[in-house]
Chains A and B, each alone.
Chain A
Amino acid sequence: MEPVALNGVKVAESPDGIEGAGFFATSLDKAVGMARKNSIWPLPFATSCCGIEFMATMGSHYDLARFGSERLSFSPRQADLLMVMGTIAKKMGPILRQVYEQMAEPRWVLSVGACASSGGIFDTYSVLQGIDRIIPVDVYVPGCPPRPEQIIDGILNIQKLVENESLRRRDSAEYKAMLNKYGIE
């Protein structure tokens, strides 16, 4: 049955569970997943043109805030999602890596735009051909620049990943092996 609040507004679907008078029992994974997915605080790492499309996405027309990303955090310690938007040059690589390492777990990375995903049209000596050479990426949004709807689609895919992530993933050996591949402790 569709959950409907008092004034007819549709609210988020609650996970399966046992309901009773004054209590609701569900698995911790699902509850935490639902809470996390609807309150992702992004760190906009905007370097070039995709950053302007991000500004348009945050504007009132395409409003990203309604997906829970109201508070943009420029401090890595307080951010959940690193949105890399724009070209990353080789000079900027170490800085991006430092910002990623400073983020606290759980953290996700969204690579917005062709330049961040693969170097884009800039197949040159000074541009890093994709940020996945230095940090692990969860979702790639192609486009040059991607339309705001595409960026929102990327965020929705991140939400799917966040919702379904197991609580023990960040401690697992597999995850640690992946980080080791990038040289991150």
Chain B
Amino acid sequence: MENTETEDRIVTLLKEKFTEDFISSETPYQFLTIHLRPANIISIIRFLYTQEKFQYLTTLCGIHYPELKSISVMYQLHNLVENKRIRLKIFLPEGKPEVDTLTTVFPAANWMERETYDFYGVTFKGHPNLKRILNVEDMIMFPMRKEFPLEDQTREDKNNAMFGR
């Protein structure tokens, strides 16, 4: 898909400034998506915040790619003044998913990172309060990972055979 002018400009800028971290860029469904290495993601976002005015954090979530053996964290930023959106994805190793916290740039990332920790086990270094937020506190597993089953395995009243599982 062809990028617009500003999208090309942002991609070139990022390629120049953060050459080792830049992996690839694409525009699925007219939405600029950039894949990056996790080491300097916070400086990249801060650069986009100050230079390119992406000062609104739309969302932050985790994605589990079992065949790539990695857990990805997706950040979506929005420039409200010029109405531009950008998506940044970083890929962390499944065994030890760790990345710096975004709460220094966007306070809104606080609960979003807690939710990603709760669901995928991604540790955000420097987070003020990295505890589980939606599940019960003493849960050991990370439920959104693909290997975790959806249903409560201890229930007896719902017959799996009848429900097509």
Contact = CB atoms under 8 A, between A and B. Distances in A.
Interface of A: 90-91, 118, 123-127, 129-130
A90 to B, nearest CB: 6
Given A129-B157, A129-B158, A123 B151 contact: yes
Given A129-B155, A129-B157, A123 B150 contact: yes
A125 B134 CA distance: 12
Interface in B133-164: 134-136, 143, 148-153, 155, 157-158, 163
A124 B157 contact: no
Nearest to B141: A125
* Shortest 10 CB-CB contacts between residues of A and residues of B: A125-B152, A91-B136, A129-B155, A123-B151, A124-B150, A123-B158, A90-B136, A125-B143, A126-B135, A124-B151
Contacts of B163: 123
A129 B154 CA distance: 11
Range, interface on chain B: 10 to 19
Contacts of A124: 150-152
14 contacts: A91-B135, A118-B157, A123-B150, A123-B151, A123-B152, A123-B155, A124-B151, A125-B143, A125-B148, A126-B135, A126-B136, A126-B143, A129-B152, A129-B158
B160 to A, nearest CB: 10
Contacts of B158: 123, 129
A108 B157 CA distance: 24
A174 B150 CA distance: 38
B9 to A, nearest CB: 45
Contacts of B152: 123-125, 127, 129
Contacts of A127: 152
A126 B137 CA distance: 12
A91 B149 CA distance: 19
Contacts of B134: 126
A124 B153 CA distance: 9
A118 B152 CA distance: 13
A124 B158 CA distance: 11
Contacts of B136: 90-91, 126
A123 to B, nearest CB: 5
Contacts of A130: 157
Contacts of B157: 118, 129-130
A85 B151 CA distance: 22
A54 to B, nearest CB: 25
Contacts of A118: 157
A125 B143 CA distance: 9
A124 B134 CA distance: 14
A129 B149 CA distance: 16
B151 to A, nearest CB: 5
A116 to B, nearest CB: 15
A98 to B, nearest CB: 16
Contacts of A126: 134-136, 143
Q: Which of A125, A126, A130 has the most CB of B within 10 A?
A: A125
Interface string B113-139: 000000000000000000000111000
A125 B150 CA distance: 6
A55 B56 CA distance: 36
Interface string B60-75: 0000000000000000
